Amino acid sequence: MLADRIENIGNGELSEGIEIDASIKAVMEFIEIHFSGFSEKVKGEITASEKALTDKLCKYFNRVTGSYPFYFHHENVEDHSSGMSPQIDIGTLSREEQINVGDRTYDEFDSFFSIEAKRLPTPGHNREREYVIGHDKSNGGIERFKKGIHGYGLRYSAIIGYVQKEDFDFWFLQINNWIDELIKTTKGEWIAEDKLKKLTVKTGTQIVKFESDNIRIPVKSFTDKIKLLHFWIMLEDNP
């Protein structure tokens, strides 16, 4: 089993108080350790597209997985039974034929931890809030997880942020302000727990990390949530 093979792999630290499956913990630690190294590879790419950056990220992650018992797949299909299935930017798959995470079994073709990527800022007309919510369709990063378009049935996933303008504090405040507006204008679909909360990261890393507890839409229960880890890197040379 994958969970039995991760002991002593990695040395990253997760957020305080999270009690999670060992396999999910291993993936989160991997991202925290190696996302910082990726930032050096793409430093200065302040106009690079999200798709190009994520393609490079997936290839970089796979090159450094080493003895980790999982790998990453770019533009992973969410629902193999549908020809119109959405695709998550990066899926995480076990190297074994099956993996048990919590009370669910995933086969060799299923992502057990999904990763969406967003540029900050998102370019284009009326797309500035796309890290959170789409303008006229459901293409917001957090929104897609809340609606089950991405990460359906998963308890944990992640959003990668490529900061190409402004700084980490600017986007932390901006995103939470957008969520505050949604809390005021929607009928319980967005709540305070949807907001980003800062987490500590390893000393010397070049990333920031947040978490959010995101209630599913439509709201069936306030315990029906997906926890998102948010990892951001700075691409500007002198922010």
pLDDT in tens, 55-114: 999 999 999 998 899 999 999 887 777 777 788 999 999 999 888 888 888 889 999 999
117: nearest Cα among 157, 162, 149 = 162
Q: From the centroid of its chain, how far is CA 195?
A: 14
Spatial distance between the Cα atoms of 65 and 89, rounded to a whole number of angstroms: 18
* Beta strands across the sheet bearing 207-215: 70-77, 87-94, 113-120, 156-163, 225-234, 207-215, 197-199
pLDDT of residue 15: 41
Spatial distance between the Cα atoms of 101 and 239, rounded to a whole number of angstroms: 39
Q: DSSP assignment, residue 194?
A: G
Strands (E), the chain: 70-77, 87-94, 98-101, 104-107, 113-120, 156-163, 197-199, 207-215, 225-234
Token pair for residue 17? 């108080």
Query: pTM score, two decimals?
Result: 0.88
pLDDT of residue 9: 35
pLDDT mean values, one per 10 residues, the chain (239 residues): 40 43 91 92 94 97 93 88 81 91 87 96 91 89 95 93 95 98 94 95 82 91 88 84
pLDDT of residue 210: 97
pLDDT of residue 58: 97
pLDDT of residue 238: 64
Q: In angstroms, how far is the first alpha carbon of the chain from the final one?
A: 44
pLDDT of residue 218: 84
pLDDT of residue 212: 97
